[in-house]
């Protein structure tokens, strides 16, 4: 079956077997380059290593039928590289030593990016509880979540300071 998507801002068409998952098409499909940041983990929707944005919402691509993505926008971490918010988030994860083996990092980054983008749009700042909630679907066996939460909180605080400065300039 033919599937047309907007992948990381570019129109793409794929041939996918019936029943193929979005994960399998992104990682192993015919498109070049393959989206290797989308990790194959549990394949049951439990670990979050395969998290992507589907029309701006985080989903576990291992449990999303590729056909469901037809006509929709799919964003992987490759599509977020260079985005100022993603750049801040990546730098904070490094600064807070929140990356260890790195297997979960792409999915975790996509989930945190979504949270921080939504909060920025709403003019709110997420607290530690909201950050932990955003990471609920991302299993990490290395970090214990303390450092990734601290990194996301640091970015949230920086965004709040930027908002405050912008408001003061008006």
Same domain, residue pair 87 and 59: no
pTM recorded for the entire structure: 0.93
Report whether pLDDT(170) > 80: no
How sure is the predictor about 165, in pLDDT bands with cuts at 50, 70 and 90?
confident
Lowest-confidence segment of 29-38, 55-64, 137-146, 159-168 by average pLDDT: 29-38
Mean of the per-residue pLDDT values for the chain? Answer: 93
Spell 124-149 as b/e; 16+ CB within 10 A means b. Answer: ebbeeebbeebbebbbbeebebebbb
pLDDT, tens only, 88-122? 999 999 999 998 888 999 999 999 999 999 999 99
Same domain, residue pair 96 and 155: yes
Report whether pLDDT(19) > 70: yes
Same domain, residue pair 91 and 164: yes
Q: Which residue reads 């037809």 in tokens?
A: 70
C-beta separation of 27 from 15 below 8 A: no
Give CA torsion, residues 24, 149, 85, 39, to 10 deg: -10
Same domain, residue pair 56 and 91: no
pLDDT, tens only, 133-163? 999 999 988 877 899 999 999 999 999 999 8
Percent of the chain predicted with pLDDT > 70: 98
Count of structural domains within the chain:
2
Domain end marker among 79, 108, 131: 79
How sure is the predictor about 29, in pLDDT bands with cuts at 50, 70 and 90?
confident
């Amino acid at each position: 079956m033919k599937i047309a998507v907007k992948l990381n801002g570019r129109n793409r068409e794929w041939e996918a077997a019936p029943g193929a998952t979005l994960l399998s098409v992104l990682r192993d499909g015919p498109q070049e380059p393959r989206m290797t940041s989308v990790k194959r983990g549990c394949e049951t929707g439990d670990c979050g290593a395969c998290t992507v944005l589907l029309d701006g919402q985080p989903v576990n691509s291992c449990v999303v039928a590729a056909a469901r993505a037809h006509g929709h926008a799919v964003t992987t971490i490759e599509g977020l590289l260079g985005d100022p918010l993603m750049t801040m988030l990546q730098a904070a994860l490094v600064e807070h030593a929140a990356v260890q083996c790195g297997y979960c990092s792409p999915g975790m980054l996509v989930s945190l990016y979504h949270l921080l983008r939504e909060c920025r749009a709403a003019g709110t700042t997420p607290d530690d509880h909201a950050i932990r909630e955003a990471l609920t679907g991302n299993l990490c066996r290395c970090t214990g979540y303390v450092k990734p939460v601290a990194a996301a909180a640091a970015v949230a605080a920086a965004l709040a300071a930027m908002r405050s400065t912008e408001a003061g300039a008006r």
